[in-house]
Homo-oligomer: A and B are copies of this chain.
Amino acid sequence: MATIEFWFDFASTYSYPAAARIERLACEKGISVIWRSFLLGPIFQQQGWNDSPFNIYPTQGCYMWRDLERICADLGIPLRQPSVFPRNSVLAARVACCFASEPWLPEFVRHVFSANFADDQDISNRAVIEGCLDRVGVPGAEKIEQALMPASKNLLRAQTEHAAAISVFGAPTFIVDHEIFWGNDRLEQAMAWCKSPGLNPPA
């Protein structure tokens, strides 16, 4: 079965619409999604940024919020600009990394994105993440305990280091057979690549 890797950060604005639509699209095309949670923060720091580039460059930031508003309206998903941006996504990312292959994971991911970008909730708050877990029918408190164990922390750190090593520099990023596609607006192209790569591999 063809597979697409979906690299996302819960604090990343354009990851929200990507997470909302990737599973349905992949299902229609018979493609399997590998959910790869990681942290953009350390990758931005390597570029000398201690904040989201959308905050560092406010003209781009202002444009991004309007662009996201149009995208969410087209998709029919709600958007409320979070009162804190970017939100700390470490706890949610640990959970998503720890349980990446569970059948409930995609729905959990969508709940966390909605909490951040539709309901303006603090996703660094344990109760919020616990609520997202409970809503998908798993024991939230117990799963969080597991995600807070050192092995789980190391898993997220390793996954973020891996992202940097393979030149992931933003989110969402899609990877199909080593080919990298960056941005929610490249999802369709990445899926088409699964079926028939359009070019030779890069030199």
What residues of chain A have their CB less than 8 Å away from a CB belonging to chain B?
47, 57, 59-60, 62-63, 66-67, 69-70, 73-74, 167, 169-170, 180-183, 185-186, 189, 198-199, 202
Contact = CB atoms under 8 A, between A and B. Distances in A.
Nearest 5 Cβ contacts at the A-B interface: A59-B169, A185-B185, A59-B167, A66-B202, A73-B199
B169 A199 contact: no
Contact of A66 (B66, B180, B183): B180
Nearest to A180: B63
A112 B169 CA distance: 31
Contacts of A202: 66, 69
A185 B185 CA distance: 7
Contacts of A183: 185
A60 B189 contact: no
A167 B199 contact: no
Copy tally for this chain in the complex stands at: 2
A201 to B, nearest CB: 10
Given A59-B167, A59-B169, A199 B69 contact: yes
B70 A198 contact: yes
Contact of A169 (B57, B70, B74, B185): B57
Contacts of A63: 167, 169, 180, 182
Contacts of A189: 70
